[in-house]
Amino acid sequence: MVDYIDAKNLKLSKKDMMTCTMCGFCKSVCPTFEGIGKDTGVARGRMILSYGLLMKDLPADGSVIEALYQCTTCKDCERRCPSKIKVVDVVERARRDLVDAGHMLPRHRKVVDSVRKYGNPYGEERSVPEALGEKPRRARVGYFAGCTSAYRNPKISQATLSILKKLGEDYTVLNETCCGSVLGRIGLEEDAVKQMQRNIDAITEQGVEEVVFSCAGCYRMFKEEYPRHVEVPFKVKHISEYLAEKDLDLGKLEKKITYHDPCHLGRHSGVYQAPRDVLSKVPGAEFKEMPKTSAEARCCGGGGGVRSAFPELSEKIAGRRVDQAEFADVLVTCCPFCVTNLRSGGEKTGSKVEICDLVELVEPLL
Ligand code: SF4
Ligand code: SF4
């Protein structure tokens, strides 16, 4: 059956799609184009497909759905696009229309079912405080670990908690649930907003003044997306911003280090300097930037639901990013998702570069 969808969300981006001049500048930066090598794997191809869906010139078949879900939503094309097209908005609106029409990739369906049932994408029955082994209480600072650090990369959440403790902070873990990022990226805005309200209610009850994040994706949600839907009655800070403000007395680390900007923290949230300020406080460390860095940083390939639905593509992109850090002993980043994906990519290419989160680097030196 030929399936033309009612693209009511895409209608809002019609002007954007029509503004694409097909110049192809987005090809030079798109991480998925590098991995796929076809025009449907780059912003301009995705603009054509979305426009086709809107005008009912194209049915929502498997190839169209795949191309729209292979975008990591890294936003690098928007920086490069002379027509200033909001590519990520177009892609995410197309995804909402596809989901509304009953099209969801099987691997995403599993993730969505898990968030609805357990409040996290990993099918975990434990709450985040249980996974972290701490009891939530009232305190000045709340630590929002996020599902990936709490359940899949606990070294990052444990390092963050240890840092807060060593700095004498009045902190607590939070009665958190999934921040909603994964739902928003897949195209379930309503479900994402429900998660937002759940988190705001739970955190407000704990009376914290400031919430600190070690996950770039959760941080972006609270900083950029929550305020569009719910009231956020506390300050939000990424742990790199929190640490950059502190007078840190760190031990020596005589290694060559470099830094990968997570798309969620950099291009989506505008935080570039804080992690670099923290790294500059490490005595003995020799810091050098990667070839593509800050606003021009290449995506690790893990975002936008791509790692869960297309793991091979995701690892291929990550491997290329790790290759750009071969001059360093340690590649530091600020997101558990980037850490996991870069490590997978590095393993595939046989890279010798050590990959770690900023908190994993700082904690033992504190
Ligand atoms: S850079 Fe912008 S205008 Fe040019 S092809 Fe890509 S999306 Fe279209
Ligand atoms: S957001 Fe990133 S992955 Fe998606 S089309 Fe743009 S550059 Fe490519």
| Residue 2 pLDDT exceeds 80 | no
194 and 284 together in one domain: no
Distance in Å, CA 51 to ligand 1 centroid? 14
Which residue bears the tokens 């691997």? 107
Query: Mind listing the pLDDT tens digit for each residue in 171-215?
Result: 999 999 999 999 999 999 999 999 999 999 999 999 999 999 999
147 and 47 together in one domain: no
pLDDT tier at 224, thresholds 50, 70, 90: very high
Query: Mind listing the pLDDT tens digit for each residue in 33-43?
Result: 988 989 999 99
Domain that holds residue 305: 256-365
pLDDT of residue 35: 85
127 and 220 together in one domain: yes
Final residue of a structural domain among 39, 73, 100: 100
CATH number of the domain encompassing residue 237: 3.40.50.1860
Does any ligand 1 atom lie closer than 6 A to the CB of residue 108?
no
> Residue 120 corresponds to which tokens in the numbers above?
């996290």
Could you give the dihedral angle defined by the CA atoms of residues 24, 345, 150 and 255, in that order, rounded to the nearest 10 degrees?
Answer: -110
Distance in Å, CA 152 to ligand 2 centroid? 26
| Residue 84 pLDDT exceeds 70 | yes
Separation of alpha carbons 233 and 226, rounded Å:
11
> Does residue 1 belong to any structural domain of this protein?
no
pLDDT of residue 1: 67
CATH number of the domain encompassing residue 33: 1.10.1060.10
Domains held by the chain: number: 3
Final residue of a structural domain among 212, 244, 276: 244
What mean pLDDT is reported for the chain?
97
CATH number of the domain encompassing residue 265: 3.40.50
235 and 263 together in one domain: no
341 and 220 together in one domain: no
pLDDT of residue 262: 98
66 and 147 together in one domain: no
46 and 139 together in one domain: no
Query: Mind listing the pLDDT tens digit for each residue in 265-291?
Result: 999 999 999 999 999 999 999 999 999
Nearest-CA residue for ligand 2 atom 4 is 71
Distance in Å, CA 219 to ligand 2 centroid? 20
83 and 157 together in one domain: no
> Does residue 4 belong to any structural domain of this protein?
no
Query: Mind listing the pLDDT tens digit for each residue in 309-358?
Result: 999 999 999 999 999 999 999 999 999 999 999 999 999 999 999 999 99
Query: Mind listing the pLDDT tens digit for each residue in 229-263?
Result: 999 999 999 999 999 999 999 999 999 999 999 99
> Does residue 134 belong to any structural domain of this protein?
yes
Percent of the chain with pLDDT over 90: 98
